[in-house]
């Protein structure tokens, strides 16, 4: 082998540059042809329907997600229209558009499902829970955090939530007095970010106080979403963005700069937590749990703390704020729904300043229907997060080999017209009607995903949704300002849904603070 290598090096030295370049091109071409042949005719999922270009390469996915900007999900929709409910969307992934098969893909822990390893870079946090590939390792990491998001823990956190709700109410009163325009997505992100940052590392970021109406956490998360597709195709960019000078990143792309600033901020918080570990008692925050001495040292690194914080803060801020924004817009567009909700709330909140707990509010059937319909139309996370089974899975007549990433993106279920007639219409009554008929419409309420990797923060999100919507509907009168249905049209997938001009945005003015 050594002699052969020496011969090859010597031969290369004797070639001129043109010949060497031609040889390299030839080798790359042969490799490409062999790879294409394998993917089309020998690959384990060669029998799955779909366009040949998608089966042979990642060109289609790159073009629609990177060049066109988060549009591949709509191309996948067209594939399903042409090829049926199961399609091969790239050389190694299968997408299934069948809501009744969703629970087989996103299965409970009794059916082990690994993460698709090629998807991990998309989060920009490769050592976080959400990016952990093996089922067993994920289960260990998730168990460290799960107690913080149990229903009991969230109920215990309710005084903090109520404090932040009161701060938001104060800001809305100020907006009414000054006739200021309020961007609801930032107002709600201030609420959710203040709650989750307090829970994560013990210090509220005070977005509802010192930083109002700005929110660098929301901007940083938007930067992560903006670059998620690039991270997927070029994983080295994840570490590169951390190593480049901040000034250079800022000049190249403000969205990337916002994400880098967020990373740096969380790294500092992680280092401080580790330095002060011996002085802290108990497990009051998520960071405290992540540096517990009982965990292996490799699970208590600065990088892991910071990356876990990115994901926890992101999940605890962006999607809930997005859902509240969508809910508020549709309530204002459908005044009959708003008034019906307000009447129901009066049974628990007789005056506009009355308060009710989450446990009380979740007993209200119409408010619950509004929450479910808002979650459906907000779409949760739109990213294509795959699961990998360790055994062959049968979908109808198709065998999906072990090790194949299977995906069923949320919007395909949440906007399915056979389950939700007029799927883009805001209609909370559909949930009431289904319950009266004994139909389990909740089976298709998958905004938080399902199975062993379902959203950890589901209880916290529900609590914030109930408490914030009660405030919105019971205490204030709003009017929509320079916002139309088009602004909430789903146009792109950047982990969360984007409209024509970026993240969904709703502007309002506070017309009136309702009196006792």
CA dist 56 to 41, 177, 185, Å? 10, 61, 41
Distance separating alpha carbons of residues 458 and 148, to the nearest angstrom: 11
b/e 249-269 (16+ beta carbons within 10 angstroms → b):
beeeeebbbbbbbbbebbbeb
Distance separating alpha carbons of residues 56 and 82, to the nearest angstrom: 18
CB 477 within 8 A of CB 132: no
> Mutual orientation of helices 158-178 and 458-475 as an angle, nearest 10°?
40
Distance separating alpha carbons of residues 176 and 170, to the nearest angstrom: 10
CB 388 within 8 A of CB 405: yes
- Count of Cβ atoms closer than 10 Å to residue 368 Cβ: 20
Is 200 annotated to bind ligand?
no
Distance separating alpha carbons of residues 294 and 218, to the nearest angstrom: 33
Spatial CA neighbour of 457 closest among 308, 320, 266: 320
Distance separating alpha carbons of residues 52 and 160, to the nearest angstrom: 54
CB 393 within 8 A of CB 408: no
Written as one string, the DSSP assignment of 115-176 is E-GGGGGGGT-TTSGGG--SHHHHHHHHHHHHGGGSHHHHHHTHHHHHHHHHHHHHHHHHHH
Binding residues for heme: 455
């Amino acid at each position: 082998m050594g002699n052969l290598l020496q011969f090859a090096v010597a031969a290369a030295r004797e070639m001129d540059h043109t010949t060497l370049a031609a040889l390299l091109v030839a080798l790359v071409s042969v490799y490409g042809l062999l790879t294409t042949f394998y993917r089309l005719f020998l690959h384990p999922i060669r029998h799955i329907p779909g366009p040949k270009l998608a089966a042979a390469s990642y060109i289609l996915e790159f073009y629609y997600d990177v060049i066109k900007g988060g549009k591949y999900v709509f191309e996948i929709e067209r594939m399903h229209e042409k090829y049926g409910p199961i399609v091969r969307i790239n050389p190694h992934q299968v997408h299934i558009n069948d809501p009744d098969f969703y629970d087989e893909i996103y299965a409970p822990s009794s059916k082990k499902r690994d993460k698709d390893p090629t998807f991990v870079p998309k989060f920009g946090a490769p050592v976080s829970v959400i990016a952990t590939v093996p089922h067993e390792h994920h289960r260990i990491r998730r168990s460290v955090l799960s107690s913080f998001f149990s229903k009991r823990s969230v109920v215990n956190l309710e005084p903090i939530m109520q404090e932040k709700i009161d701060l938001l109410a104060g800001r809305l009163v100020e907006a009414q007095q000054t006739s200021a325009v309020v961007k609801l997505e930032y107002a709600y992100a201030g609420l959710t970010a203040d709650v989750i940052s307090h829970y994560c590392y013990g210090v509220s970021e005070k977005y509802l106080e010192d930083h109002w109406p700005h929110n660098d956490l929301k901007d940083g998360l938007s930067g992560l979403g903006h670059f998620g597709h690039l991270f997927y195709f070029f994983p080295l960019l994840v570490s590169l963005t951390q190593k480049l000078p901040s000034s250079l990143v800022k000049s190249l792309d403000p969205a990337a700069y916002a994400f880098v600033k967020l990373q740096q901020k969380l790294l500092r918080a992680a280092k401080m937590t580790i330095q002060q570990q011996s002085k802290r008692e108990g497990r009051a925050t998520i960071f405290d749990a992540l540096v517990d001495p009982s965990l292996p040292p490799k699970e208590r690194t600065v990088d892991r703390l910071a990356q876990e914080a990115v994901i926890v803060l992101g999940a605890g801020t962006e999607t809930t704020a997005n859902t509240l924004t969508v809910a508020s817009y549709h309530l204002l567009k459908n005044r009959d729904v708003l008034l019906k909700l307000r009447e129901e709330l009066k049974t628990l909140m007789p005056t506009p300043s009355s308060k009710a707990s989450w446990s009380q509010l979740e007993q209200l059937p119409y408010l619950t229907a509004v929450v479910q319909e808002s979650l459906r139309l907000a779409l949760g996370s739109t990213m294509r997060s795959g699961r990998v089974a360790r055994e062959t899975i049968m979908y109808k007549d198709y065998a999906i080999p072990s090790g194949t990433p299977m995906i069923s993106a949320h919007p395909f279920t949440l906007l399915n017209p056979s389950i939700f007639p007029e799927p883009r219409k805001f209609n909370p009554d559909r949930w009431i009607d289904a319950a009266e008929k004994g139909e389990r419409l909740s089976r298709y309420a998958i905004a938080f995903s399902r199975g062993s990797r379902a959203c950890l923060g589901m209880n916290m999100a529900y609590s914030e949704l109930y408490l914030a919507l009660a405030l919105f509907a019971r205490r204030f009168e709003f009017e929509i300002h320079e916002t139309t249905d088009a602004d909430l049209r789903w146009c792109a997938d950047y982990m969360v849904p984007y409209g024509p001009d970026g993240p969904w945005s709703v502007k309002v003015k506070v017309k009136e603070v309702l009196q006792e």
